[in-house]
């Protein structure tokens, strides 16, 4: 009789465990429980996306749709405000200070063995790993991490420029063409086709959308969505650079682009172009989401969408990425995990993109490799109000770091220069408080999160750096 009761207890315990998994607890792994992963990267996409509320001019209906499906993070930050180190860090699990990958000219493959990246990790755990578009920075490819990499759909050489513009290195053009004139359309179509297939093994599908990366050349219809007379310039302080240390002034580098603006109209034209590219990228993401919603494996497919870093459009007299300030470091992070994330939920906790690797491992019950440095944010995906005190860390060049907490951003440069901003009361970072003795303890507390080691930069290995 005792054996029967014990057997029944085991059955009931197993049933209860199954119910716990389905009700939203993170999975504990075996082959049957692995989820498909739809992994979407968007290049140079800052926080001008609906759910942030940072710029309500921009039309992002499909990113808004994705946000409504799961959990969106309002304070998610890149590992580096540069394409190559940002992507190398996220994909490898090694921060720039540990790998030596700091800039676009650094060949990340030298500092990151092929056994370490997220793609290899999922292959080793029984996944079919497919990639297309921009996942790593161009020119440093290692396709053996993938079972297949899509490189079709080249840009149409017959596209027609209707109107173009430029100041400094900022360039844009309106095209007399349809969406399929650019690679992003074809990457989205390829990813959509893969989602509609039935796969024998769990699937890791990585799709990289290139826009809104420059050049801001997209079909004219996207420019038409943003009439110039309706464009609102971002908040701007003409004296913003007066309280910066020497390293901060060098980072702003206003003579590169901003001081070449000939008029406010030209500034608005550039913003129009960037917004047009965001909406073009959004349309391609929509093609992928349409297929996801029709996918035969939708109920067992999770989504993570991330931008590799942000982008300045004149804030702090700066354009492009390449800074440790808010505009260059904050970007979208959206998770949709069936039976885990709550539709339409928002998390305001501060995280960085190094969290993606360990969280994907945790959700799928996979043992995390020891080299991974990011933090698992699974508990935030289940409950956005969970306790969380770990700040985001961003690195730009050797031993230049930014620590971003819920309230503060602390920047320390290699030569000792400092910046401190109250992000609650000064969201555009106009007042550097680093030299105010009242905030000495704040700086000391944030400095505890700076990397203890800073590996020497790999340096340029003869490949073009690009942007």
Cα(129)–Cα(123) distance, integer angstroms:
6
User: Closest Cα to residue 343, out of 381, 291, 294?
Assistant: 381
CB 211 within 8 A of CB 218: yes
CB 341 within 8 A of CB 311: no
What was the pLDDT predicted at 51? 95
What was the pLDDT predicted at 153? 73
User: What DSSP assignment string belongs to 338-391?
Assistant: TTTSPTTEEEEEEEEGGGHHHHHHHHTTPPPPTT--SPP-HHHHH-TTS---PP
Q: What is this structure's pTM?
A: 0.92
What is the H or E stretch that residue 42 is in? Answer: strand 36-42
Strand residue runs (E) in 168-202: 170-176
What was the pLDDT predicted at 466? 62
Residues forming a β-bridge with 219: 175
What was the pLDDT predicted at 140? 82
Residues forming a β-bridge with 164: 173
Cα(130)–Cα(352) distance, integer angstroms:
25
Q: Beta strands 216-219 and 170-176: pairing type? A: parallel
What was the pLDDT predicted at 152? 78
Structure tokens belonging to residue 402: 């930014």
Task: Using CB atoms within 10 Å of the CB of residue 198, give its burial: 0 to 12 exposed, 13 to 18 middle, 19+ buried.
Answer: exposed
Q: What per-residue string of b and e applies to 252-262 under the rule 16 or more CB within 10 Å gives b? A: bbbebbbeebe
Handedness of CA 207, 213, 215, 220 (dihedral sign): positive
pLDDT tens for 361-412 read: 999 999 999 999 999 999 999 999 999 999 999 999 999 999 999 999 999 9
CB 78 within 8 A of CB 310: yes
Residues of the chain with pLDDT under 70: 1-32, 154-155, 157-158, 460-466
CB 40 within 8 A of CB 334: no
Active site residues: 83, 137
Distance of CA 48 to the CA centre of its chain: 13
User: What DSSP assignment string belongs to 92-137?
Assistant: HS--HHHH---STTB-HHHHS-TTSSHHHHHHHTT-EEEEEESSSP
**Distance between the two ends of the chain, CA-based, in angstroms?**
72
Residues forming a β-bridge with 71: 335, 345
Cα(119)–Cα(122) distance, integer angstroms:
5
What was the pLDDT predicted at 329? 98
What was the pLDDT predicted at 385? 95
pLDDT tens for 230-267 read: 999 999 999 999 999 999 999 999 999 999 999 999 99
CB 48 within 8 A of CB 307: no
What are the chain's domains? 31-392 (3.40.720.10)
What was the pLDDT predicted at 26? 57
């Amino acid at each position: 009789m005792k054996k029967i009761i014990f057997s029944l207890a085991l059955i009931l315990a197993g049933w209860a465990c199954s119910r716990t998994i389905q009700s939203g607890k993170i999975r504990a792994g075996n082959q049957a429980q692995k989820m498909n992963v739809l992994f979407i990267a968007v290049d140079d996409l800052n926080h001008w996306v609906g759910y942030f509320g940072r710029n309500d001019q921009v039309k992002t209906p499909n990113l808004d749709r994705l946000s409504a499906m799961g959990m969106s993070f309002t304070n998610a930050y890149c590992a580096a405000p540069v394409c190559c180190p940002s992507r190398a860090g996220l994909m490898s699990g090694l921060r720039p200070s540990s790998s030596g990958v700091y800039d676009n000219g650094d060949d990340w493959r030298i500092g990151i063995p092929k056994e370490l990246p997220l793609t290899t990790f999922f292959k080793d755990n029984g996944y079919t790993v497919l990639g297309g578009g921009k996942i790593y920075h161009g020119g440093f490819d290692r396709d053996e991490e993938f079972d297949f990499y899509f490189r079709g759909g080249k840009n149409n050489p017959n596209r027609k420029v209707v109107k173009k513009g430029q100041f400094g290195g900022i360039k844009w053009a309106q095209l007399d063409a349809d969406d399929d004139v650019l690679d992003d359309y074809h990457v989205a179509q390829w990813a959509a086709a893969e989602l509609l297939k039935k796969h024998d093994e769990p699937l890791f599908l990585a799709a990289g959308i290139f826009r809104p990366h420059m050049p801001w050349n997209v079909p004219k219809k996207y420019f038409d969505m943003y009439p110039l007379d309706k464009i609102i310039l971002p908040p701007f302080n003409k004296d913003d650079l007066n309280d910066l240390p020497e390293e901060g002034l060098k980072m702003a580098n206003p003579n590169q682009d901003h001081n070449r603006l000939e008029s406010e109209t030209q500034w608005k034209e550039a913003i129009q172009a960037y917004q047009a590219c965001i909406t073009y990228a959004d349309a391609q993401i929509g093609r992928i989401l349409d297929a996801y919603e029709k996918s035969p494996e939708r109920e067992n497919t999770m989504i993570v969408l991330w931008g590799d870093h942000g982008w300045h459009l004149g804030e702090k007299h700066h354009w492009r990425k390449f800074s440790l300030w808010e505009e260059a470091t904050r970007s979208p992070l959206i998770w949709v995990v069936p039976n885990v994330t709550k539709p339409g939920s928002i998390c305001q906790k501060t995280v960085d993109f190094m969290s993606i690797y360990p969280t994907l491992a945790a959700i799928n019950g996979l043992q995390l490799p020891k080299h991974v440095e990011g933090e698992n944010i699974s508990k935030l995906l289940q409950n956005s109000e969970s306790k969380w005190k770990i700040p985001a860390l961003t690195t730009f060049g050797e031993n230049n770091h930014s620590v971003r907490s819920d309230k503060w951003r602390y920047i320390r440069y290699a030569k000792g220069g400092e910046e401190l901003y109250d992000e609650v009361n000064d969201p555009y970072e106009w007042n550097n408080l680093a030299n105010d003795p009242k905030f000495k303890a704040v700086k000391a507390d944030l400095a505890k999160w700076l990397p203890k080691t800073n590996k020497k930069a790999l340096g340029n290995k003869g490949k073009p750096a690009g942007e």
